[in-house]
Every structure is written in C-alpha cells, then in structure tokens.
C-alpha cells in the first residue's frame, strides 16, 4: 500500500505535543508551533479561531465541524461510539468512534487506530465499512467518522434462533458479500486478520459490511515477520495457532470458512477456550495436521498435537453437518477449511466457485432477514468499541475477558 498523504489530515506530531489551542484560545496568541496564520479562513465559523490555529489545526477544525456528535451508542475500554449527523444534512447519520487515550501508548496513537485508519481510508467497496473522515477532538482524542450501520451484525442474526429464520439462499447472499469484501481486501494487499460474525455489520439496506480493521495490515515483505497472535481464537487458522510468522491471505479464508459453517449451524463450529483446546478442536472437526496432509508442518515453532490422530475428515462428515447448503456448498466449505494454507482456496477462487450459480439463487439484499427493534444500534455500538481480536466471552461464560491483542506487527 502506498503511503497515503491523507495522514496529513491527522494532527501532526508537533501539534500533538502541546494541548489543543482550542482549549485556551486567546485571540492574540500566535500559532502553537509558529507556522504563519493562513490569510484565508475556509469558513465563517472557523474564522473566529483561525487566528490561533496553524493550517493543520484549522483543517482538523473544519473537518470536525462537519459533524454533530449525538447520543452515545456504546462505551468500552478501547473506544466510545457516538451517533453523529452531518451538519449540512442532518438526515445523514454517521457513527463516530472516539478512540480513548491508551495508557500503553501515551506517546502516540494506539496501533489499532493507526491500522484502522491506514487501511480503511484506502479501501472503498460496498461490502467494507466506509471511513468518511478522521479528526481529533480536545485532549487529542482521535475520532473516526464511520458509516452508520443500524441493523446490527451477523452474530445477533445467527444467535437469535427463536426469532430469526433464514435459509440457504440467505446464507449464500451473506457469504457472497463477505467473500467479496475479503477478496477486495486481498486484491488490495490487506490482511484483515479478524474476520468473525460480529465484525460483519449490516447496513440499512441489508448489505453486509466488513468492519473493524484494528488488526489489519498489508501483506508483509519477505523475511519480515508478522505476529501470529491475531484473529479471534475460534476463527484462527492452524498455521497461526502453530506460531507461524510468515503467512498469507489464506489466514482470512480459514476465518471465512468458519463463518460459513457458523451461518449454517447457527453456533460456532470450533469454539475452543484456550489455544490448545482450539488446536484439539481443529484436529477433531477438520483433521489432524500431519506431514502427509501438510508437508513441513511439524517444523512450525509451536506445533503441538495430541497423540490421537484423526485423518482429514471426508465429505460424509461435512454432508452430515452442512448438507443443507448442497453438494457444491459443502465442497466450497471444505476447500476453505483445508489445513495446508498453500492448498487452501483463495478468496478470488471462492468467487469463481460454481456454488454461487447453483439453486437457490442468493437472496436479494433488501429481502434478507433482519432483526427488528433497536437492538441493532446497541450492538453496533458494542461492535465498534470492542478491542480487536477478542472473543466476547463475558457473554458466553462469565469468565473475565481475556485481552488477546497482538503486539505491533
């Protein structure tokens, strides 16, 4: 990914060093870092303060003024999410994600925020959440203005088995949108590294949008290691569980496969409580990675399997569990869950799979089942404020939430 000049729009390091001049804006005060005051003020409201601001601060101010912050949708340890409106067009809603100052990163922005901004501003696709703009508010808080997606996420649809009913056509439509989003990321050399149902938000028109790029990164150069501590555990592929430092887009495909399985089963397919248990579940639910089905796997740094070796499960097993999606659907699922990442299907080849053209045809997005009521809004608030790469465990079992955040890179 080329270096984007958009970063100019963020407060520059010099401006960050001092507290914002807006807080104690004395009319006669010179610009905080000595740059000359621009002669032309961009708009009337900003003109009052322009005397005290340098160019970058003023641009930031303009950007901030475009939006009105509304009620709080959710609060978390990592970020608060507010509903926002466009000042010139109040009917247009946005979600403003205000990143909290992080104690771990007092000297700069939290890497999650940097990753999110860096990649979202470059990706523009109907199935990826849109980042409208970024500005900083008082105390150097970073605000991300995101597309407002009011209908919740796929997780609430999957979990609400009592009220939400969907069929193969709906699953196919959702999978199509997810796969397109992942394909678009990969074509633009971005690994998402946190694909799971509650990062798949639903727009007002039913379109599924991939969100939360807090763990995303661009494809690594050769010989430059990446962290293996990414992707929420249930959706983490075996190569990451075995501590691989050089991996490819295939990691996201594994997650897509497990989301597919979850959509069909309406429960996570491989839900391990620890990494060891996760490996165990993969061995049982997919097959034990061995030298035969994955040459070289035993040389991976954290290769640990139990003595019980399960051969790679065949089509019968998947047919019994996922037979409703039809022969082609099961074939696609099996290809996404191939243990050896080099043999795993790519997102592009997924879209070329014959399943999409088999009956039933994917449901049109306006006819997709959706959850009614205000729950969606709440859920979006919760989704956006969450720290990336964490299973929402406080919901499933009452164990304290374990932060699972990968270090930089």
Answer for which of 97, 118, 180, 371 binds other proteins (CB under 8 A) is 180
Q: Using the rule CB under 8 A, is 5 a contact of other proteins?
A: yes
Q: Which stretch binds other proteins (CB under 8 A): 11-19, 93-101, 240-248, 391-399?
A: 240-248
CB neighbourhood size of 37 (10 A): 14
Q: Residue 112 CB, nearest distance to other proteins (Å)?
A: 20
Give the integer Cα–Cα distance in Å for 394 and 171: 27
Q: Which of residues 275-304 bind other proteins (CB under 8 A)?
A: 294-297, 299-300
Q: Using the rule CB under 8 A, is 165 a contact of other proteins?
A: no
Q: Which of residues 247-276 bind other proteins (CB under 8 A)?
A: 247-250
CA distance readout (Å), 92 to 72, 335, 347:
17, 41, 33
Q: Using the rule CB under 8 A, is 13 a contact of other proteins?
A: no
Phi-psi region of 231 (alpha: psi -120 to 50; beta: other; left: phi over 0): left
Give the integer Cα–Cα distance in Å for 320 and 324: 9
Q: Using the rule CB under 8 A, is 317 a contact of other proteins?
A: no
Answer for which of 15, 59, 230, 337 binds other proteins (CB under 8 A) is 59
Q: Using the rule CB under 8 A, is 344 a contact of other proteins?
A: yes
Q: Using the rule CB under 8 A, is 357 a contact of other proteins?
A: yes
Q: Which of 112, 153, 170, 194 is catalytic?
A: 194
- How many residues bind other proteins (CB under 8 A)? The answer is 62
Answer for which of 20, 31, 85, 121 binds other proteins (CB under 8 A) is 121
Give the integer Cα–Cα distance in Å for 107 and 360: 54
**In the complex with other proteins, which residue's Cβ is closer, 190 or 390?**
190
138 annotated to bind ligand: no
Q: Using the rule CB under 8 A, is 184 a contact of other proteins?
A: yes
Q: Using the rule CB under 8 A, is 349 a contact of other proteins?
A: no
Contacts of 135 (CB under 8 A, 6+ apart): 9, 60, 63, 64, 143, 145
Helices 315-322 & 326-336 angle (0-180, nearest 10):
120
Q: Are 241 and 275 in contact (CB under 8 A)?
A: yes
CA distance readout (Å), 238 to 12, 290, 376, 385:
40, 11, 33, 28
194 given a catalytic annotation: yes
> Which residues carry a binding-site annotation for ATP?
98
Residues that bind other proteins (CB under 8 A): 1-2, 4-6, 8-9, 42, 59, 62-63, 66, 121-122, 124-127, 132-133, 176, 179-180, 183-184, 186-189, 218-223, 239, 242, 244-250, 294-297, 299-300, 340-342, 344, 351-353, 356-357, 361-362, 364
Active-site residue list:
194
């Amino acid at each position: 990914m080329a270096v984007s000049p958009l970063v100019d729009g963020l407060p520059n390091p010099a401006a960050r060093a001092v507290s914002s001049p807006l807080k104690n804006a004395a009319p006669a005060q010179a610009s905080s870092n000595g740059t000359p005051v621009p002669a032309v003020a961009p708009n009337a409201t900003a003109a009052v303060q322009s005397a005290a601001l340098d160019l970058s601060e003023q641009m930031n101010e303009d950007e901030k003024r475009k939006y009105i912050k509304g009620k709080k949708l959710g609060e978390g340890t990592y970020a608060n999410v507010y509903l926002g409106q466009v000042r010139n067009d109040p009917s247009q809603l946005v979600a403003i994600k205000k990143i909290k100052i992080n104690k771990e990163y007092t000297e700069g922005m939290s890497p999650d925020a940097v990753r999110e901004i860096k990649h979202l501003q470059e990706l523009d696709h109907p199935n990826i959440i849109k980042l409208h703009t970024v500005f900083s508010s008082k105390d150097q808080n970073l605000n991300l203005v995101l597309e407002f997606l009011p209908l919740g996420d796929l997780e609430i649809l999957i979990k609400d088995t009592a009220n939400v009913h969907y069929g193969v056509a709906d699953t196919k439509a959702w999978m199509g949108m997810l796969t397109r989003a992942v394909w678009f990321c990969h074509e633009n050399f971005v690994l998402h590294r946190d694909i799971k149902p509650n990062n798949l938000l639903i727009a007002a028109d039913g379109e599924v949008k991939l969100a939360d790029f807090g763990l995303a990164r661009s494809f690594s150069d050769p010989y430059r290691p990446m962290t293996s501590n990414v992707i929420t555990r249930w959706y983490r592929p075996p190569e990451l569980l075995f501590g691989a430092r050089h991996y490819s887009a295939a990691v996201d495909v594994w997650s897509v496969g497990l989301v597919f399985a979850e959509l069909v089963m309406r429960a996570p397919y491989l839900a391990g409580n620890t990494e060891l248990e996760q490996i165990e579940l993969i061995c049982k639910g997919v097959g034990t990675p061995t030298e035969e089905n994955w040459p070289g796997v035993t040389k991976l740094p954290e290769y640990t399997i139990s003595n019980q070796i399960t051969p790679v499960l065949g089509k019968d097993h998947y047919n019994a569990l996922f037979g409703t999606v039809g022969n082609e659907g099961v074939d696609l699922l099996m290809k996404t869950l191939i243990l050896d990442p080099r043999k795993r299907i790519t997102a592009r080849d997924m879209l070329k799979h014959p399943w999409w053209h088999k009956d039933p045809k994917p449901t049109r997005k306006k006819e997709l089942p959706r959850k009614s009521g205000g729950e969606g809004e709440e859920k979006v608030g919760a989704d956006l404020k969450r720290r990336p790469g964490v299973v929402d465990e406080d919901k499933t079992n009452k164990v304290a939430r374990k932060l699972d955040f990968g270090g930089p890179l």
